Amino acid sequence: MVDFGNTLKQLRLEAGYTQQQLASRLGVTKSVVSYYELQARYPSPEVLVKIAAVFHVSTDYLLGLEKKETLDITGLSDEDVITLKRLVASLKRTKE
């Protein structure tokens, strides 16, 4: 879990969730999500699986053991990148 906290925060921000919204989806408190992002605590295996399901990634990805597929966004404006990330997050949520 070398960089778990940063990975979690990045996924949460890309999906447009607040810490409270993510906490509600995971069945934990906002402070627990904050501790995870600060790497002050690590999730139980059960919560790790829930996090992977919420963000449609593998637990290996969350643990830094696997890389996800990337998309070349070279040349897009910052606004376009944000829009694209939100679209991807929205498409993933519709698959739940």
Q: Comparing 1 with 82, which gets the higher pLDDT?
A: 82
61-75 pLDDT per residue, tens:
898 888 765 567 889
pLDDT at 70: 58
Q: Using CA atoms, how far apart are residues 17 and 3, in angstroms rounded to an integer?
A: 20
Show me where the domains of the chain are located: 4-94
AA identity, residue 89: A
> How far apart are alpha carbons 36 and 43 in whole angstroms?
7
Contact 32, 41 (CB under 8 A): yes
CATH no. for 4-94? 1.10.260.40
- Rounded-to-integer distance, Cα 88 and Cα 68, Å: 14
Confidence of residue 94 (pLDDT cuts 50, 70, 90): confident
CA distance 3 to 78: 25
pTM of the model: 0.69
